[in-house]
Amino acid sequence: MAMMALRRTTEMVLGSSWGVRYLALRALSNPPAGPASLAVTRACVVPLGTESLPRLVHTTTRFRTEDISVMTSSVFARSRVYSSSISSKGEGDDDDEGSHSDFATQYKAKGDQLSVNDVIDTDVSKNKVFVYMKGVPEAPQCGFSNMVCRILDAYEVEYGSRNVLEDPEIRQGIKDYTQWPTIPQVFMDGEFVGGCDILMEMHKSGELEDALK
């Protein structure tokens, strides 16, 4: 197994389930001329506080070195990477098939960067509820983002989130996408719902309960 320096370059959503997103990390092998392929043998994520076995398991997904190579959860505060083992393989072992077919529709080969809008489209279409916020649900860095999370938590609904403070492109991109000037921004069933005030109003009026059914 070769040592690898991992560097996060572009956030790309490869898939998601019950609110946990997978991010793609570009793995830089060290030395760069090393392995011809990388295999992510396992990347499991379980929500914090869950003692059961991980329900999400990706096994032996192989990518070419130049491809997006490693999956992990972006929401470290919310989940922990249960097990992740990365091994490198020699040139001859590689079947050179490129990305696992699971990801083919969402991720294309190198040089084809996903635009910010594509990332947002994927976020909001793959999650019933998705929040663009400051901080993470367990540690929001803004009172309004905190309020949104606490309201959603009251309904025990699973939701995905993206921390705009970590990503200036998304921070501006989401404002352009919705033509809405402030963060947080809440989406339900792929549709922009509003910010903190609107979610609170929906909560008070009972509309939110219906929307989350």
Partner 1 sequence: MAMATTAEKGFIGPVARNIAAKVSQAFACDVLEVENQSHHHAGHTGNPTGAADAETHFKLKIVSSAFEGKKLIERHRMVNELLKEELDTSVHALTMDLKPPPKH
Residues in contact with partner 1 by the rule CB under 8 A: 134, 141-144, 179-182, 192-198, 201-202
Q: How far is the CB of 23 from partner 1 (least distance, A)?
A: 24
Cα separation, 167 vs 98, whole angstroms: 28
Q: What is the token pair recorded at 133?
A: 């916020």
Minimum CB distance to partner 1 smaller for 99 or for 185: 185
User: 22: exposed, middle or buried (C-beta count within 10 Å: 0-12, 13-18, 19+)?
Assistant: buried
Q: How far is the CB of 201 from partner 1 (least distance, A)?
A: 6
Cα separation, 40 vs 87, whole angstroms: 7
Rg (CA), the chain: 18
Minimum CB distance to partner 1 smaller for 39 or for 193: 193
Q: How far is the CB of 192 from partner 1 (least distance, A)?
A: 8
Q: How far is the CB of 21 from partner 1 (least distance, A)?
A: 24
Minimum CB distance to partner 1 smaller for 47 or for 194: 194
Cα separation, 173 vs 34, whole angstroms: 36
Cα separation, 20 vs 22, whole angstroms: 7
Minimum CB distance to partner 1 smaller for 45 or for 183: 183
Exposure class string for 101-131: b at 16+ Cβ within 10 A, else e: eebeebbeeeeeebebeebbebbbebbbbbb
Minimum CB distance to partner 1 smaller for 86 or for 147: 147
Q: How far is the CB of 202 from partner 1 (least distance, A)?
A: 8
Minimum CB distance to partner 1 smaller for 107 or for 192: 192
Angle in degrees, CA 196, 114, 145, rounded to 5: 15
Give the N- to C-terminal CA distance of the chain in Å, as an integer.
47
